[in-house]
């Protein structure tokens, strides 16, 4: 498995080696040893989620309060999504920056989103099926969000799907009403860079 760090420090793209024959394809989409070597600590699996999305659906930008926040290891089993990680850590040298990874059923890449970062994706075709391994369980009172269409962040969402047809962004009411990055900072909703690093240090110990 090939590992590449994204422009947002700590976030990783993981590309598996695939083995195909006339029966189909086999791959290893998660490896505890590869993960621990790349990240510096084991992955604690607390919950596994799956979402199925129509073309144009945007989910996110989501994050959980630190501590314990929630690390995510994400892949797309069917269809295709543009996956986005955003640095929302106040005081980070890369605050407000973002990077993308195409997750699909061809390259079968995965993305690792560590604690303290924002995560979102856009479905590029109907039925796109995304699986998430999560390091902490869903906790409604600790879940937060930033509007994925915030022009200050400026995510370049695709305008056409994998089939070449135009995409119309579709958000949940909660994501539509989420604050901008600046508003979230003013409200004290965002984690600080120092707090995230301090928490991650406890995992590396």
Model confidence over 9-57: pLDDT tens digits?
A: 999 999 999 999 999 999 999 999 999 999 999 999 999 999 999 999 9
Tell the burial category of 154 from Cβ atoms under 10 Å away from its Cβ (0-12, 13-18, 19+).
Answer: exposed
Predicted pLDDT of residue 59 = 98
First-residue to last-residue Cα distance in the chain: 25
Q: Look at residue 121 and give its three-state secondary structure.
A: strand
Catalytic residue among 62, 112, 119, 193: 62
Predicted pLDDT of residue 22 = 97
Catalytic residue among 35, 119, 132, 138: 132
Predicted pLDDT of residue 205 = 61
Q: Is 62 a catalytic residue?
A: yes
Enumerate the domain spans of the chain.
2-204
Chunked into runs of 10 residues, the chain (205 residues) has average pLDDT values of: 97 97 96 96 97 98 96 98 98 98 98 98 98 96 97 98 96 98 98 97 85
Beta strands at 58-64 and 118-123: parallel, antiparallel or unpaired = antiparallel
CATH code of the domain made up of 2-204: 2.60.120.10
Q: Is 119 a catalytic residue?
A: no
């Amino acid at each position: 498995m090939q590992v590449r760090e994204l422009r947002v420090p700590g976030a990783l793209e993981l590309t598996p080696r695939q083995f195909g024959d006339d029966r189909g394809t086999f791959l290893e989409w998660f490896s505890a040893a590869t993960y621990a070597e790349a990240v510096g600590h084991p992955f604690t699996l607390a919950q596994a989620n799956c979402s199925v999305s129509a073309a144009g659906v945007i989910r996110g930008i989501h994050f959980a309060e630190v501590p314990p926040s929630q690390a995510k290891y994400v892949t797309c089993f069917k269809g295709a999504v543009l996956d986005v990680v955003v640095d929302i850590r106040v005081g980070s040298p890369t605050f407000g920056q973002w990077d993308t990874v195409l997750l699909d059923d061809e390259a079968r890449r995965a993305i690792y989103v560590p604690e303290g970062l924002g995560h979102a994706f856009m479905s590029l075709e109907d039925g796109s099926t995304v699986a998430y391994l999560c390091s902490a369980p869903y906790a409604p009172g600790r879940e937060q969000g930033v509007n994925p269409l915030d022009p200050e962040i400026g995510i370049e969402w695709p305008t056409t799907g994998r089939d070449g047809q135009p995409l119309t962004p579709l958000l949940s009411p909660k994501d539509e009403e989420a604050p901008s990055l600046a508003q979230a900072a003013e409200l004290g909703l965002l984690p600080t860079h120092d707090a995230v690093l301090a928490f991650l240090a406890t995992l590396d110990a």
